[in-house]
Amino acid sequence: MGNLRTALLAWLMARSAQGRFVMRVDDLDRVKKGAAERQLADLAALGVNWDGEVLYQSSRLGAYEDAVKQLNQAGLVYECYCTRKEIQAASTAPHGAPGAYPGTCRSLTEAEREARRAQRPAALRLKAEASSWQVTDRFAGHYTDTVDDFVLVRGDGVFAYNLTCVIDDAFQGVTEVVRGDDLLPSAPRQAYLAHLLGVEAPLYAHVPLALNSSGARLAKRDGAVTLADLREAGVSTRQIMRMMAASLPLPPVTDNKGQTHLPETAEQMLEVFSPALIRQEPWIVADPLTSH
């Protein structure tokens, strides 16, 4: 429900600005067969449509390779052999920056790299030349956060999200990214990488997440939290849309019978939507089956 609500918000913000809304499937990691198709079908069921063809990142490997080569030729890439446990231990040390990569492998000699290669495959990291970067967010304003030597290519050879989203945002002509506010700290890294690659960083709009009554992200343990689960439990798509409209919150609409109610379709939402209406606190979904 949280992912669908964020996608719906992105659609509303694009359409209300007479903009294009593009769809991208991040399918580089291991994904269950049919998962992308189910998610696209869920979005379509809510009335979320998109312009042009769906872009699958698995079709873009050459573009990612070219970007890494460009950065490498500029001396901005190095091999890293650290495990997550080692990075966590270093970043929680007395003088470590919480969550930031401490640069352990940045200055290894070639002999040291050869010895590490024998132990585990290398990830590729950006050799950042800035310690922080500023982005513009519709809700957070001018936001500055840490830029560390983040991963470009994982040890298993998979291109990292922080790389691929930058390249594909530029490729698809994205001017504003609307996504969950848990990703706000990643935006400065991505904008900095866009700067290095010579492409324009988009504006951002990070929106609050959907959380359970304990303040954690909605998950299967919270019961019926997917479109399929709710439908199986007898909750209609119109009821789900009213639930989301209330969460934003949106004002009521008047139907052709003169009755007033919360919007029940994406088009009805668009009639009354404004970015200024978006509540800047998380959507607490205590029980999806009773919230509608």
DSSP code string of 260-283: EE---SHHHHHHH--GGG--SS-E
Under the banding of pLDDT at 50, 70 and 90, the label for residue 99 is low
Beta carbons within 8 Å of 65's beta carbon, 6+ residues apart: none
Q: Which domains does the chain have, with CATH numbers?
A: 60-207 (3.40.50.620), 214-284 (1.10.1160)
Write out the H or E segment, with its range, that includes residue 125: strand 123-126
pLDDT of residue 95: 46
**Whether the predicted pLDDT of 94 surpasses 60:** no
Average pLDDT of 42-46? 96
pLDDT digits (tens, 9 = 90+) for 238-265: 999 999 999 999 999 998 888 899 999 9
In this predicted structure, the answer to whether residue 201 has a pLDDT above a threshold of 50 is yes
Residue with tokens 């997440």: 209
Helices and strands counted in the chain (H then E):
10, 13
Write the Ramachandran bin of 153: left for phi over 0, alpha for psi from -120 to 50, otherwise beta.
Answer: beta
